[in-house]
Amino acid sequence: MTSADAALGNNWYAAAPYLMPQSNNPPDPVTVMNATGIKAFQLAFILAPNGGGCTPTWDGTTAITSETVVSNAISRIRANGGDVSVSVGGYGGTKLGQTCGTPAATAAAYQQVITKYSLKAIDFDLEEPEYENTTAVANELGAAKILQANNPGLFVSVTMPGTSAGTGWFGTQLLDQAKSIGFTPNNFSIMPFDGGFNGGSSQVAALEAFHGLLMSHLGWDSPTAYAHEGFSGMNGKSDVSEMFYQADFQTVLDYALSHKLGRFTFWAVNRDRACVGTTDNSVCSNVAQKDWDFTKFSVQFAGATPPTSSPTTTPMTTPTSSPTTTPTPPAGCAAPAWSRTAVYTNGNVVSYAGHRYSAKWWTQGEVPGTTGEWGVWKDDGVC
């Protein structure tokens, strides 16, 4: 398997969307990379064996020592200039934190995964029922701290359920446990879906509430809390029939970028395509879209411009073709007029309605002066 000697920057691990490489009709990762510009994937999930034990498997069924499918996928991703993080836990199956007796034993199991795949990043997705088991959570967080110490530079994310209050009681207990053992991951991420959410604005409100919890439970100031906060969304139709469209992802992305959040990811690339001949929610999004629309938001978070086509920003419409580059114009009213079809990146300047605007990140089709304080356009004043 190709080595990860040339690791990516942490911005790519922070933006890596989830991908199940063995199930849920996995797409070809190289096809997704070439179509979107994404460079990293969050491969899911490492679990305990379905029959019990403290050895790592994929999906509870395939021992990492004997599998070939995931290894081949990782080799192809790396050969194409990318890399992977691996996610442990998830919603289903038995977690290693439940079956390994101590943090040290749990860490030893995960170290096998890090070593086999030469990992530079790992995600602890702590969900039910492990999430509600204080011993299991202590094993997972303790293991994460050990892995941090034994693998210098390892990017570690911790993902947990989200609520309108940011996270629930078990989530705040998790934060308290992390503080008590002196463990600080690169980020704590919440999943604001499957909990009565209604679009991007409700997710932003949950993230803002979680920001407050990070400050109050971990003793962080506001910038530190934002820098260690992450979003893990669900594209399209959620498990409880909430609907999250491309426009909702744009709303959350704008918030994440303007507040300098530490992570932006989603579940899952397997679902990032329109439903054709099936409504199986595990393999398609159940919303109108082009293939990989949602993955392109992760690319924007990482700070890159997706190749050629751009993400759809409303449920039913798709932008027309656009230029791949936009020159940076001179200051003042000499700036060219804003164009709905042009692609703009950080530092590009336009004029619109008598004002000069500077782009803060990649954008297309967002009207200057209409997206508020979290929007892409900085108003430089009247020109």
User: What does the pLDDT look like over 164-210, one tens digit per residue?
Assistant: 999 999 999 999 999 999 999 999 999 999 999 999 999 999 999 99
Dump the DSSP string for 58-124: ETTTEETTT--HHHHHHHHHHHTT-EEEEEEE-SSS--HHHHSSSHHHHHHHHHHHHHHHT-SEEEE
165 is written with which tokens?
Answer: 């209050």
pLDDT confidence band for 27 (50 / 70 / 90): very high
pLDDT band with cut points at 50, 70 and 90 for residue 81: very high
What is the phi/psi pair of residue 235, to 5°? -85, 135
Q: Is 231 helix (H, G, I), strand (E, B) or coil?
A: strand
Structure token pair of residue 265:
């990811």
Angle between helices 69-79 and 103-117 (to 10 degrees): 60
- CATH architecture for residues 10-302: Alpha-Beta Barrel (3.20)
As a whole number of angstroms, the longest Cα–Cα distance in the chain is 69
Separation between Cα atoms, residue 57 and residue 47, nearest integer Å = 5
Q: Which has more pLDDT, 182 or 335? A: 182
| Domain span(s) for CATH 2.10.10.20 in the chain | 332-382
Q: What integer pLDDT is reported at residue 362 of this predicted model?
A: 67
Q: What burial class does residue 228 get, using C-beta atoms within 10 Å of its C-beta: 0-12 exposed, 13-18 middle, 19+ buried?
A: buried
What's the pLDDT score for residue 304? 77
- Asked if residues 148 and 186 have their Cβ atoms less than 8 Å apart, the reply is no
Long-range contacts from 110-116, C-beta under 8 angstroms, 24+ separation? 110/46, 110/56, 110/143, 110/147, 111/147, 111/150, 111/151, 112/55, 112/56, 112/64, 112/65, 113/46, 113/56, 113/64, 113/86, 113/88, 114/147, 114/151, 114/154, 116/64, 116/65
52 φ/ψ sector (left φ>0, alpha ψ -120 to 50, else beta)? left
pLDDT attached to residue 364: 64
Rounded to an integer, what distance in angstroms lies between the CA atom of residue 110 and that of residue 34?
31
Active-site positions? 127
Q: How confident is the model at residue 308 (pLDDT cuts 50, 70, 90)?
A: very low
Q: What is the mean pLDDT of the chain?
A: 89
CATH superfamily for 332-382 is Carbohydrate-binding module superfamily 5/12 (2.10.10.20)
pLDDT in tens, 51-76: 999 999 999 999 999 999 999 999 99
Give CA–CA dist 329/352, Å, rounded: 14
Cβ 56 vs Cβ 96: under 8 Å: yes
Listed in order, the ranges of the chain carrying CATH 3.20.20.80 are 10-302
Render pLDDT for 220-242 as a digit per residue (tens, 0 to 9). 999 999 999 999 999 999 999 99
